[in-house]
């Protein structure tokens, strides 16, 4: 992946859908993803999900399944993970705001 590609884990779609269901965000997950795809070329990362889950089972610093999967997905290739979550920043050296 070159420095200009923006990719998200497929779990982001589920987390956005969940946040919409509980009223934390208003737009639908697919609307957000489609808008970002158009604006910045965002795409869904094609890494095998079984590899992501295998990596996630090695992470014990959080019980949040979304955080575990997001960090595991990024860490497969030491990718940058854009997040404001301070717990992720404390445990994943390639986390950025």
Domain ranges of the chain: 7-96
Do the beta carbons of residue 9 and residue 73 sit within 8 Å? yes
- At 93, the pLDDT band (50, 70, 90 cuts) reads very high
Specify the pLDDT at position 3. Answer: 57
- Whether the pLDDT of residue 15 is over 80: the answer is yes
Q: Is the pTM of this model over 0.75?
A: yes
% the chain with pLDDT above 70 = 96
Judge contact between 32 and 16, C-beta under 8 A. Answer: yes
What pLDDT, on the 0 to 100 scale, is given for residue 4? Answer: 66
Whether the predicted pLDDT of 38 surpasses 50: yes
């Amino acid at each position: 992946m070159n420095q200009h590609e923006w990719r998200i884990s497929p779990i982001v779609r589920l987390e956005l859908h969940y946040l919409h269901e509980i009223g934390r965000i208003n737009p639908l997950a697919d609307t957000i993803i489609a808008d970002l795809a158009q604006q910045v070329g965002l795409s869904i990362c094609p890494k095998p999900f079984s590899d992501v889950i295998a990596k996630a089972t090695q992470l014990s610093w959080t019980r949040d399944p979304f955080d575990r999967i997001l960090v595991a997905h990024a860490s497969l290739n030491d990718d940058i993970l854009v997040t404001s979550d301070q717990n992720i920043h404390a445990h994943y050296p390639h986390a950025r705001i």
